[in-house]
Amino acid sequence: MTAQPQLILEDVSMVFHGDGHAFTALAPIELEVPAGRFVSLIGPSGCGKSTIFNIAAGLQLPTTGKVIIGGEDATGIIGHVGYMLQKDLLLPWRTVLDNVALGMEIRGIPKSEARERALPLLHRYGLGGFEHRYPSALSGGMRQRAALLRTLLIDVDVILLDEPFGALDAQTKAHMQEWLLQLFHDFGRTVIFVTHDVEEAIFLSDDIYVMASRPGRIIEKMPIDLPRPRDRSVVSAPRFVAMKKYCLDLLYTVAIQSPEAAAA
């Protein structure tokens, strides 16, 4: 990739002060994500994945360092990235169509036009026929689709996804991953994907940042050179299996080491 980095985290760290103790949630990290790249953050709980996520989204001020999005300093500034959580956060009193159109509506597009623009996408991306239903009538997978479309329909280049499929069953999750790859291909956004599922990370990503906890830090950047478009059969390819083993080994060895040994 020759593209200029879309998202840069420069020397970003996060230290919490609670009852006299300083807790390093995130040791200083450097992260550069080129435009149009799919990057995953993977690691055990407490490794600072969600902290990175919140800092990049502008929801949390880092203790040190800067967030640069599209060449601009976006430290602590909201509205530069779209994000989505494991919870779909659809508004229960709005129809699926109105939920998907919410982002555009907030950004000043008249309601009718926002609906007009959202409708064909609902049909193209598997929510056709559900546009006038309410979220409560949808399955978990469908709700996540709606939530992701809402995020993609706002005019931002960086999308942050925090374990969006974490609450779904295995089969739905597999479907959703393929669906996400389709969208990634169609929309060409830069994606930061937080997960703790190694297979999911390899299947989706261009790069994986493997993280460790205590303190939260990045221990390795793994480029995933599997050709795109990928389909499900790739998970049994020897290359995929080898990478998965390597990644699991990384996570496992760090997990059983004491913090001092890991830091050394």
User: Measured from the CB atom, is 81 or 183 closer to other proteins?
Assistant: 81
Pattern 59-88, other proteins, x by CB under 8 A: x------------------xx-xxx-x-x-
Judged by CB under 8 A, which of 17, 19, 22, 92 binds other proteins? 92
User: Which two three-digit tokens encode residue 213?
Assistant: 């906890």
Backbone angles phi, psi at 90, to 5 degrees: -75, 145
Pattern 228-257, other proteins, x by CB under 8 A: ------------------------------
Pattern 129-168, other proteins, x by CB under 8 A: -----xxxx------------x---x--------------
Pattern 99-118, other proteins, x by CB under 8 A: ---xx--xx-----------
Q: Side-chain half-sphere of 171: how many Cα atoms within 13 Å?
A: 0
Q: How many residues bind other proteins (CB under 8 A)?
A: 24
User: Measured from the CB atom, is 127 or 251 closer to other proteins?
Assistant: 127
Judged by CB under 8 A, which of 33, 57, 114, 127 binds other proteins? 57
User: Measured from the CB atom, is 39 or 81 closer to other proteins?
Assistant: 81
Tell me how far, at minimum, the Cβ of 82 lies from other proteins, in Å. 7
User: Measured from the CB atom, is 1 or 78 closer to other proteins?
Assistant: 78
Tell me how far, at minimum, the Cβ of 33 lies from other proteins, in Å. 18
Q: Side-chain half-sphere of 168: how many Cα atoms within 13 Å?
A: 25
Q: Does 224 bind other proteins (CB under 8 A)?
A: no
Binding site for other proteins (CB under 8 A): 57-59, 78-79, 81-83, 85, 87, 89, 91-93, 102-103, 106-107, 134-137, 150, 154
